[in-house]
Structure 1
Amino acid sequence: MGIISTIFTWIWFQLDLIVHSGFPVFFWVRPRWSIDDVPDQSGKVVLVTGGNSGTGYATALSFYYAGAKVYLACRNEQLAREAIDQIKKGGVIGLNGFTQPKPAKKDGTRKKGVVEFVKLDLSDLESVDQCAQEFLKKEEKLDVLFANAGVMASPEGLYTKQGYTLQFGTNVLGHHRLINLLLPLLLSSPPTHPSRVILTSSAGHASAPNGGVDFKSVVRDPSDPITREGQQPKQGKNEKMRWVEYGQSKWGDIALAKYLHNVYGRQGRLISVAVHPGMVATNLPRHMSLTPYVTKFAPWLFPVVTRTSDIGAVNQVWAATIPDHDARWISGQYLVPYRKVGIARPDLQDDKKIEEVWNWCDEQGKKWA
């Protein structure tokens, strides 16, 4: 009976994974809510990692025009400043840059908030520390933290400054460090209005290795060559192939959300959610070899297989703005397109594995404190 139940669970997971992948071909799975529907966020303080492009930009734009104070936590200050200028103009972002101003909300209003830049390089734990310190000097509260930034399918052999594989080090370890450092601020919110942490994951978490994360594979072996500028990176001794590596980083993001819920969400002190944005037309696939050719010779293909950044931001913006009593029900869950509690890979029901990810990240953080 146990084997039959396991097989059924995996089949059901695979079906849900495909149907709620965000592919436009599944036309009946479409958003029935817009990020323009965000209620008034006046007085809210929001931090968005990777807020200068893609779903991060769309999220920041949405909160800015709802009256919130928004921080764009980005690696490249110039690009962040350009994004801030565009946000103030209401520019909509696409693959070819910023386009026309965003139309007024349905009620005819556009309530502007405040938008600021804070430097953050998630692939450098020292930069994460500095970002947290700067933010803590500026703010006494944090209502929503969007762990939105990330890298996908980067070549094997690329590592963070501290020697972790680029994808896991950026997507999981960097965000864990940031969340951990800002946790006291997040937990200082009143129990009636707990702060929220929204982590961007992916249906790609299905490609993670057995058990979710192979920790040995995400640390550079001393014998692995260090890639110099202009050199072709080589796969490390223990490193996984790029898509498996991406999968375990996204598995890790869901694990972080679940851990936060297990420890703080069940006490009503914090709301944490992992989201799959769907197939979105952003610069995330820039490491894929076919991307530049499709962009140049077949741009018509993008609307066929992807959605816009505004639509890609639906899940995370909705999870961050629905009333507290509703948000508590989705805390610790994995949302899929659109506004639906999805089915995460079955091994993400193992609280011991989830705790193992958080504790491992904690131990790595102590090495570089």
Structure 2
Amino acid sequence: MPSSTDARNANVGLNLAGKTAAVAGGTQGIGAAVGLRFAQAGANVYIIGRNEQLGREVVEKCREQAHDAGDGRTYEFIKADLSSVSEVRRVAEVLKEKSGSKGIDYLVTSQGGPPNGKYIQTSSTPAHDAHFAVQTLSRFGLAYLLASSGILKDTWVSVCAPAGEKGPEPDVDNLELEGAHRDKWMLGRVMGQAKQDSALGDAIAVQFNQHFPSLRAVHLFPGFVYTNALASASIVPRPVLWAYGYVGPLMARFTPMGNLPAWYAEIPVYIGANPSARGKGLEASNERLKPLGWPAWAEGTTGKKVWEKLKAMVEV
């Protein structure tokens, strides 16, 4: 059955010399592994994230493992808190300045993390729900700003579970789920956020392809990738984290949907940057390279409303 192994085999010999990738959420986990894999294929890499120490460590690994790294290629860290719209706009300007006329070939957005069921306002102005701000708004913002300014040249890859062809519509009148699900148990709130994340991700990917037909949007479900993302979710009880620390690596290695970050990284690079993946309908797919399709509603009124509302938030 197709998997990250198939992507890895297809990526053997992949040469991305002269290409440039920007990876948001690239300081650890999936993002860090994707950034490193781009470097190994010869691309210039910008790592975007909050943790400067981790970010610089990833950049140094890119330098160490890059293919033919001695020819003046660029590996840089851009520190940013992507929960702030002003920071998203600043990062887009920094990438524009640093990449120059060559621009950015591949944008990978892996920032954010599992929904936590909380609704906490950011301290930025205007304020947004913290989870929504990173998981949806910053992904849209970076892709929209780079595409509309002509800096993005090829593909935007967003790693965040697609709703798929039969996925339900999002709550368009309450994108941030403000006040929603407060009467539910924590699990119900988490599931509500997860459903909204997936639907909004599909909507903006479909609309991105309509607004920028010369570019390409990819929305990928990673399955289970063992990272420390769960530990960063403050609501998770310590016993659960202990169990995750023991069971997680086993699930990643020995279950059909499991991956480690370095294994999974082959898939975003394959679908986003490998010419052999084009034309296979993998723009919305899972960790087994199974096409999931786009929901019909994302092309219509619902998708357009989502796009316009997010655009207004970014352009404030």
Q: Shorter chain as normaliser: what TM range?
A: 0.7 to 0.9
2:178 and 2:287 map into 1 onto residues whose CA distance is 35
Q: CA deviation at 1:184?
A: 3.7
Asked if the contact 1:163/1:219 (under 8 Å) is kept, the reply is: no
SS at match of 1:121: coil
Per-residue deviation, residues 176-224 of structure 1 (Å, max 9, x unmatched): 11112211454674xxxxx111111215x48x99522344251657xx9
Gaps of 5+ in 1: 1-27, 91-108, 190-194, 225-233
Matched, 1:196 2:155: yes
Q: Is the 8 A contact 1:264 1:270 kept in 2?
A: yes
Q: Is the 8 A contact 2:159 2:221 kept in 1?
A: yes
Calculate the TM-score normalised by the size of structure 1.
0.70
Q: Are the aligned partners of 1:172 and 1:253 in contact in 2 as well (CA < 8 Å)?
A: yes
Partner of residue 11, structure 1: none
Aligned residues: 297
Using the size of structure 2 for normalisation, the TM-score is 0.81
Are 1:40 and 2:2 an aligned pair?
no
Return the alpha-carbon distance in structure 1 between the equivalents of residues 32 and 92 of structure 2: 20
The equivalent position to 1:212 in structure 2, one of 159, 162, 170, is 170
Pick from 309, 313, 316 the counterpart of residue 364 of structure 1. Answer: 313
Residue matched to 1:12: none
Inter-partner Cα distance in structure 1 for 2:237 and 2:155: 34
- Equivalent residue number for residue 281 of structure 2: 330
1:310 aligns with 2:262: yes
Give the alignment of 1:349-360 within 5 angstroms. 350-360=299-309
Question: Residues 188, 272 of structure 1: CA spacing in aligned structure 2 closer, same or farther, 3 A cutoff?
Answer: closer
8 Å Cα contact 1:129/1:181 also seen in 2: yes
Distance 1:290 1:245 in 2: 16
Deviations along 1:323-360, one digit per CA (max 9) or x if unpaired, are 17x525537x311122332245x455543222221111
Secondary structure of 2:196's partner?
helix
Question: Following the alignment from structure 1 to structure 2, what is the Cα–Cα distance between the partners of residues 49 and 188?
Answer: 14
The CA distance in 1 between the partners of 2:115 and 2:160, in whole Å, is 14
Give the Å deviation of 1:139.
Answer: 1.2
> Where does structure 2 lack aligned partners over 5 or more consecutive residues?
253-258
Measure the CA separation in 2 of the matches of 1:184 and 1:292: 44
How far has the Cα of 1:145 moved from its partner?
0.6
Question: Contact 2:201–2:219 (CA<8 Å) still a contact in 1?
Answer: yes
Q: Distance in 2 between matches of 1:51 and 1:166?
A: 19
Q: 1:271 maps to which residue?
A: 216
**1:49 maps to what in 2?**
24
- Equivalent of 1:257 in 193, 205, 219: 205
Q: Which residue of 2 aligns with 1:133?
A: 93
Distance in 2 (alpha carbons) for counterparts of 1:276 and 1:311: 14
Does the C-alpha gap of structure 1 residues 220 and 359 become closer, same or farther in structure 2, counting only changes over 3 Å?
A: same
Equivalence for 2:84: 124
2:138 is the counterpart of 1:163: no
Structure 2 counterpart of 1:340: 290
Q: Which residue of 2 aligns with 1:78?
A: 53
Q: CA deviation at 1:290?
A: 4.9
